[in-house]
Amino acid sequence: MAGLIGGSGSTGSSLLRQILNRNSHVFCGPETSLFCKPELYEDWKNNKNAILKTGYGGLRSKSWHIYRGFELTKKENNVSLDLLTQMIDESTSFQEFVQKYFGANLDLTRNIWLEKTPGNAYCFRQFLQSFPKGKIIHIYRNPYDTIASLFNRGFSHYQATCIYILNTSFALREKNSPVYTQLSYESLVNKPVEQIKNLCTHLDVDYEAAMLESNDEKYDDDPSKIKGWNYDETGQISKGSIGKFETLKEKDKEIIIYACKTVQIADNTVKTEKLHHNNVLSLSKELGYSFKEKRTPAHYQLLKKEKFQDLLLRTRKNAFYNFFNYPMVLNKI
């Protein structure tokens, strides 16, 4: 069985993947960026060799993150560059390649693989069309805490808000699929046994108490703690990141509150992608979070500047979302 984990960054997917990887029947390795490349689903033959390319020769991720290429030779995945090249050459379809690649870590007991790149959310639909027996897991978190965490990781207020809105909206597009399940970061850290048991049921595996024990091997090519995180994903489950928004400076909180009221997905993108949500208000209602109605000073000019800088960067780097298909708008209130 195969599956993807996706959603906004900074929602606990790294913690979740370590927990699932401790199950004796599951392999859930580090991010690969393999499943958010539409070209591989649509035309494997003419795009497969791009897996080995980086920079402008690499495939763009369909994601708000500006990223080209893949991360397929990390130590934990047990696939060398030579073996990867061989797998690409021998595979006649994307599905065949994926089975070969993840098969390097499977055996008679460990027979389920999962992959957890947040940008998977953009291609959940293509994945299920290509892997009809696959399953998807959407992890989400309080929008203000998520945006605060992304901001602390170096994204601008505007960029962080866009990441949350887009990734979460794309993930929720598949909510009615029978193979979709969701869980919140807050429920994971507050009721870990209950939530992981539910997830194991979704994956058709037995719950194992060892899944909540922190005994993971660390790899120098895949850090378990990065800038902006309060926890190490290989450590004990902690509630330290709940309320992250309240740790920000007052001005940054004001800007994020304003951004959550004014940033939204453009109508043409909503229509083209068949999305059901386009802003933080709608997502908060869907996921059961409070929307901050507090009046704050208008920070329109600051966000407009951050948006312009983002647009220039995307166009210069020829990102998936750029000047020609920019998916976000900023409303003045």
Q: Using an 8 Å Cβ cutoff, are 139 and 182 in contact?
A: yes
- How far from 73 is each of 33, 117, 142, CA to CA, in Å? 12, 15, 33
- pLDDT block averages, 10 residues each, the chain of length 333: 95 96 96 97 97 90 95 94 97 98 92 97 97 97 98 97 98 97 97 97 96 78 53 58 93 96 98 98 98 86 97 95 96 90
Pairing relationship of beta strands 135-140 and 180-184 according to DSSP bridges? parallel
Domains of the chain: 2-330 (3.40.50.300)
Q: Backbone phi, then psi, for 4, in 5-degree steps?
A: -120, 145
Task: Tell me what pLDDT residue 295 has.
Answer: 80
- Output the DSSP codes for 107-147: -SS--EEEE--GGGGGGHHHHHHH-TT-EEEEEE--HHHHH
Residue 246: in which H helix or E strand, if any?
none
Rounded CA gap, 302 and 316, in Å? Answer: 21
Task: Tell me what pLDDT residue 225 has.
Answer: 47
Q: Using an 8 Å Cβ cutoff, are 91 and 48 in contact?
A: yes
Q: What are the b/e assignments for 76-104, b being 16+ CB within 10 Å?
A: bbebeeeebeebbeebeebeebbbbbbeb
DSSP state of 273: H
Rounded CA gap, 171 and 155, in Å? Answer: 21
Q: Say what angle helices 300-317 and 157-172 make with each other, to 10 degrees.
A: 70
- Residue among 18, 217, 14, 4 nearest 115 (CA): 4
> At CA 330, angle to CA 174 and CA 282, rounded to 5?
35
Rounded CA gap, 311 and 178, in Å? Answer: 37
